[in-house]
Amino acid sequence: MASSLERVALISDIHGNLTAFQAVLDDIAARGITRILNLGDTVGKGPRGSACVDLSRERCEAHVQGNWEASLTNPQQMAGFPLAEWWRDELPEEQQKWLRDLPLSHDFLMSGKRIRVFHASPQSVYNRVFFDHDEAQFLAMFANTEATGDGPAPDVVGYGDIHDPYLETDRGGRTLFNVGSVGNCLDDPTPVYVIVEGVPDSTEPGPFAIQFVRVPYDQESEIDAAHRSGMPEADVWEVELRTGVYRANQREGRPAAYHGHRHCG
């Protein structure tokens, strides 16, 4: 059985941080992992979204849409956030169309477990679920919706959006985890991703593992790239990359360890 195990890397929230993305991809490759799934927000916040999209399309076998992809390609959303024009205009029209057409979720089977990944929730890329959710919010993450389809409900759900990795299980055998962020992880700003391991495409119960991996990178190089690009809010982006303190917490003087609905993907 062990010889048939396979590992799949799950990444999310790259946010135009090309240096962090490359460091994570190098780590994934060093482990011999060839399958990578991207859970969205490849663009926005950081300076090199277009380059990250190109690299992700080259290296990842599947992508789902994040809230930044949805917003930057929706004129109504853009009307309420004029600063976002900088990140939108950095993307060629072909990339914008590709991002606009991404699916909300992706399902796969491993060791008898139905695994579903999406950016924020099965309801919407804008429906944010924090680690301190209640039971109703937990159960809703496993629900089928119009966006996910009406197939078998998942046993395992992985998502991004909140930049805050955690794992939770319940007595019903369900597992919910957040993969954290490659380019903009908060509290601990070190990039993080997840490896899931099991028997691929198997309906039979088998060994199954979820592993969180932290990968250091040259954040000073990425900070320099942000300032040279003329990107809006480069100063608050710099503080996020150095300290992991979310920009709203910077403005309100809250510490990094504050856990009250602090994160914005």
Number of helices and strands (H, E) in the chain?
Answer: 10, 10
Residues of the chain with pLDDT under 50: 1-2, 257-264
Residue 13: closest CA among 45, 57, 36, 59: 45
The domains of the chain, with CATH numbers, are 2-108+180-250 (3.60.21.10)
Residues 6+ apart with CB under 8 A from 49: 15, 16, 42, 43, 87, 90, 91
Hunting for tokens 């805050």 — which residue is that? 164
Average pLDDT, rounded, for the chain: 92
CA distance 246 to 152: 37
Q: What is the pLDDT of residue 75?
A: 85
In contact, 242 and 190? CB cutoff 8 Å:
no
The one-letter amino acid code at 124 reads S
- pTM, full prediction: 0.93
Q: What is the pLDDT of residue 171?
A: 86
In contact, 119 and 64? CB cutoff 8 Å:
yes
| Bridge partners of residue 62, in order along the sequence | 37
Q: What is the pLDDT of residue 246?
A: 85
